[in-house]
Structure 1
Amino acid sequence: GKDIVQFAKAVEISAPKIDKQVCRTKPGGSDNYYGVYDVTSDTATGSKTSLCGGEGTNNQGSQATPMALTDFIKNTLQGDGSKNWPTSSAQRTKKPVPVTNDNATAVAKDLVALNSDEKTIVA
Structure 2
Amino acid sequence: MTTDHAIDPSVPPSGAGCADCETAGGWWFHLRRCAECGHVGCCDSSPGQHATAHFQATGHPVVSSYEPGETWFWNYATNELYESGPALAPPDSHPADQPAPGPADRVPADWTRALHR
Bucket of the pairwise TM-score, normalised by the shorter protein: under 0.3
Higher strand fraction (1 or 2): 2
| Structure having the larger proportion of residues in helix | 1
